Structure 1
Amino acid sequence: MKYTSTRGRASALGLSAAIAAGLAPDGGLYVPQSLPKFTPQDFGDCADLPAIAARLLEPFFANDVLANELPTICREAFTFPSPLNALKTAGDHVLELFHGPTAAFKDFGARFLAACMRRLRAQETKPLTIIVATSGDTGAAVGAAFASLPGFRVAILYPDGRVSPRQAHQLGCFGGNVRALRVAGSFDDCQRMVKQALSDEALRAQAPLGAANSISLGRLLPQMAYYADASLRHFREKCIQINFVVPTGNLGNAVACVLARACGLPIGRIVLATNANRVIPDFFSGRDYAPQPSLATLANAMDVGAPSNFERLTWLYPDAAQLRREFVAQSVDDAGITATIRARYENYGEVFCPHTATAVHVLEGLRAGGDRDSWAVVATAHPAKFEGIVEPLIGRPVLVPPSLAELLARPAHVDPLANDYAVLRAILASD
């Protein structure tokens, strides 16, 4: 399997080379030259998530140096569950992706990427710096995955004052080879500087860099696995496809679901839920794609005004009219988020984080419009990470899962960073 750039102006690479590069030289994102096709029966002997992941990803790793290691990588990375549970409302489910070390869905891709990179860098003597922009959850997942890993350093950029207090603590709690930088700007500013660094050939010659955002195939591809697992479990039990409402900001999690469906998994409709940042909903309502400065919202991990993975959507569906026919995207403002969190607890005893609440709100709208199909909302983070928002709305404390409690008990340190690439470059060059 070879991988090409979404912009079509870079040489095709094998998977390991594409993972190591992160961003293509032309500024595009790597995508597979073709997609494998599966049927549910192809997974008949796969009993758990690691086995399903290995079967699904095998064609993507074909003829790569990591191919023989793939089953072991999957077992090493996916050590926690992704349960598909029924909600109290008929036909509704929740795909819980927050049972990993940092209580967010990003743990799946980050741990898989680290398992790949550890093998790819085994013979290297010069440390590799993993640089990542985060709107809240990615940075902690990457920090946890690479913490204390020999031969790696991590630089986490996050927007100062625009993540929850517990998210901020997580980002700074690793120490050692993981450095957290609070940027005087937005997530889009952090993402811009990361892309500048990854495109800076002179810097990369001096200080090797790697990517860990969803621009990296090592993060994106494994995220298909939990959609495959959930859809197969539902199909085996009900003999019907399941539909997903995916809360999204940078579109990585959503594109993973789209890719899983394109590979033949029993997934029906995919609806995208965003917060008040309306770039994606505006496009799907018929407007031109027009990135905007991001707005700060309660669902801060989705505060993205220039979603990188939009390029991968347009690679899959190059005709804009066809792309708009394939998906629906809806925006939920802070008032809708708070009302949903409060009402679902009062009516059903269910507790959701602000991001998951956007998906629940959108699903409730589908039900109100008469939709009776089988749906799952994707729960991207544990509500305990947003206790300052959730607890006042439900009137009680949210139990902190043990893995998150362990991180919160550590001391944390974060360094300030000006919204200036030259300053970041100097830091990366000196490490």
Structure 2
Amino acid sequence: MSEPLLYRSTRGLAPGAGIGEAIAAGLAPDGGLYVPEALPRLDPADFDPRGSLADTATRLLRPFFVGHALAAELPAICAEAFAFDAPLRPLGQHPGVAVLELFHGPSAAFKDFGARFLASCFRRLRKPDEPPLTILVATSGDTGAAVAAAFHRQPGVEVVILYPDGLVSPRQAHQLGCFGDNVRALRVAGRFDDCQRMVKAALNDAGLQARRPLSSANSISLGRLLPQMAYYAHASLQWQREHGRPLNFVVPTGNLGNALACVWVREMGLPVGEIELACNANQTLPDYFGGAAYAARPAVATLANAMDVGAPSNFERLRWTFPYDADLRQQLSSHSVDDATICATVLRHATRGEVFCPHTATAMHRFEQRDRQADWAVVATAHPAKFESVIEPLIGRTVPVPPALAAMLDRPAQAEPLEATDAALKAWLLGEGAEVCGPEQARRLG
């Protein structure tokens, strides 16, 4: 049996932790992000060629859970988290191009996979005599709804979602506020980076933690990040079996969690080729990969709002993976796509019968600038129906709404206003929080 992995902070000032502790904490005590001491190495032959996405996830993640009680539960956790598919669909008449569709879950975005995995872990990690736990979530559009759907009515857990007021799509905002029960939505008078800063400050406040235990469900959480590797592993293994070549990916990215998952799959030895980070008009990553010093900056509002991030948290993990700038810049490329190009890309493909969300359109545009003789997967991160106020005027027709999203939109929704300060969130958490859903109430709500 292999030795259990120990998890360290990217900042190196916190003691090591086991996988359960790292998932439960969300953020390391020194403010850094948890990473394994070393990434495991796997061989493509380790995977069942007839296995499902859940089977691939179980095999991929097994080394991360060795020696912990969750290891025995991993097949069940993966079955719960990966209960819907992530199809690798051919794109038109291009034999070497596919779209990796990640939006077939309850909230119609890729974040459903990681959120459901995390919720399944928390259900098994939590002891009956433990105090209630508050999950803090900063969202630029999609994370909050995925986490809310995954944790809705889960006993002993309250979810508090922070989102930038007026900077998410109307349907995204409705999703964030439509759950009720143990889920509360706060519309923050600021940008996503303010929401993210406020959440990190709360998680790092020992006094606050002592009075109200907190954790995170953003991609700063290892429990969100690790499962996101599964669909890249599954797609790349499928492609190699069918074509005999590695698969390259164009990944729309903002906070870097989804892209980092793809990078780690490649580092673990699976057949992932080139990785391009498709960004919107926020230039932090394109400027860095273009040779400039890394510099976080205020986020710019764009049509691809879930990627409106000026200070991507997972850059710390990326730098842990490749400590030297020259090496890191050789591993990835990153380019910016402005709103006008997003619109033109959506419209051009709609005339060919393909409707993409604004985020997927950034990846599609970047693919169109690449060598089309190579094998590429364009990562589709959200369903276009979530962005009807952008997409439908462009293409001149309505976009059918998936049933799960339609059910959310049929519910009433509300969100509370909050100032964009660390103090405002702390005060809300200490005096304004909702009652946590207990076991009896959960059964009544059914």
TM-score under structure 1 length normalisation: 0.98
Instruction: Provide the residue aligned with 2:106 in structure 1.
Output: 101
- Does 2:204 match 1:203? no
- CA deviations on 1:265-302 (whole Å, 9 max, x unpaired) are 11100000000001000000000000010000000000
CA deviation after TM superposition for structure 1 residue 218, in Å: 0.3
Of 277, 281, 292, the match for 1:276: 281
CA deviation after TM superposition for structure 1 residue 65, in Å: 2.0
- Does 2:27 match 1:23? yes
**Structure 2 counterpart SS, 1:366:** coil
- On the 8 A contact 1:5/1:26 being kept in 2, the answer is yes
Instruction: Provide the residue aligned with 2:437 in structure 1.
Output: none
- CA deviations on 1:124-177 (whole Å, 9 max, x unpaired) are 341100000000000000000001000000000000000000000000000010
Distance 1:113 1:25 in 2: 20
Task: Say which is worse superposed, 156-165 or 234-243, in terms of deviation.
Answer: 234-243
Q: Which residue type is aligned with residue 296 of structure 2?
A: P
Instruction: Provide the residue aligned with 1:286 in structure 2.
Output: 291
Distance 2:129 2:201 in 1: 24
Instruction: Provide the residue aligned with 1:112 in structure 2.
Output: 117
Instruction: Provide the residue aligned with 2:11 in structure 1.
Output: 7
- Does 2:357 match 1:353? yes
Distance 1:124 1:86 in 2: 50
CA deviation after TM superposition for structure 1 residue 27, in Å: 1.1
Q: Which residue type is aligned with residue 61 of structure 1?
A: F
Q: How does 1:204-353 map to 2 (within 5 A)?
A: 204-346=209-351, 348-353=352-357
Instruction: Provide the residue aligned with 2:47 in structure 1.
Output: 43
Alpha-carbon spacing, 1:46–1:123, altered in 2? closer, same or farther (3 Å): farther
**Structure 2 counterpart SS, 1:221:** helix
Instruction: Provide the residue aligned with 1:379 in structure 2.
Output: 380
CA deviation after TM superposition for structure 1 residue 89, in Å: 4.7
Of 152, 155, 161, the match for 1:150: 155
Instruction: Provide the residue aligned with 1:426 in structure 2.
Output: 427
Distance 1:225 1:164 in 2: 28
Q: Any gaps of 5 or more consecutive residues in structure 1?
A: none
Q: How does 1:122-141 map to 2 (within 5 A)?
A: 122-141=127-146
Distance 2:180 2:230 in 1: 31
- Does 2:420 match 1:415? no
CA deviation after TM superposition for structure 1 residue 45, in Å: 5.4
Distance 1:428 1:45 in 2: 48
Deviation above 2 Å: which 4+ runs of structure 1?
122-125
- Does 2:89 match 1:85? yes
Q: Any gaps of 5 or more consecutive residues in structure 2?
A: 434-446
The CA RMSD measured in Å over matched residues stands at: 0.9
Distance 1:351 1:247 in 2: 16
Instruction: Provide the residue aligned with 2:402 in structure 1.
Output: 401
Percent identity of equivalent pairs = 64
Q: Which residue type is aligned with residue 276 of structure 1?
A: A
Distance 2:241 2:106 in 1: 29
Q: Which residue type is aligned with residue 7 of structure 2?
A: Y
CA deviation after TM superposition for structure 1 residue 17, in Å: 0.2
- CA deviations on 1:200-246 (whole Å, 9 max, x unpaired) are 00000110001000000000000000001111111111111110000
**Structure 1 counterpart SS, 2:275:** strand
- CA deviations on 1:62-115 (whole Å, 9 max, x unpaired) are 111211100110001111110000111522110000000000000000000000
CA deviation after TM superposition for structure 1 residue 313, in Å: 0.6
Distance 2:114 2:232 in 1: 13
- On the 8 A contact 2:185/2:414 being kept in 1, the answer is yes
CA deviation after TM superposition for structure 1 residue 122, in Å: 3.4
**Structure 2 counterpart SS, 1:244:** strand
Distance 1:46 1:61 in 2: 23
Distance 2:290 2:138 in 1: 29
Distance 2:201 2:129 in 1: 24
CA deviation after TM superposition for structure 1 residue 4, in Å: 0.3
Of 187, 193, 200, the match for 2:192: 187
- On the 8 A contact 1:46/1:52 being kept in 2, the answer is no
- On the 8 A contact 2:48/2:56 being kept in 1, the answer is no
| Residues matched between the structures, number | 427
Distance 1:307 1:263 in 2: 23
CA deviation after TM superposition for structure 1 residue 39, in Å: 1.5
Of 61, 66, 70, the match for 1:66: 70
CA deviation after TM superposition for structure 1 residue 123, in Å: 2.4
Alpha-carbon spacing, 1:26–1:46, altered in 2? closer, same or farther (3 Å): farther
**Structure 1 counterpart SS, 2:86:** coil
Distance 1:6 1:79 in 2: 32
CA deviation after TM superposition for structure 1 residue 44, in Å: 2.6
Distance 1:57 1:25 in 2: 24
**Structure 2 counterpart SS, 1:44:** coil
Distance 1:420 1:319 in 2: 34
Distance 1:412 1:345 in 2: 31
- On the 8 A contact 1:166/1:386 being kept in 2, the answer is yes
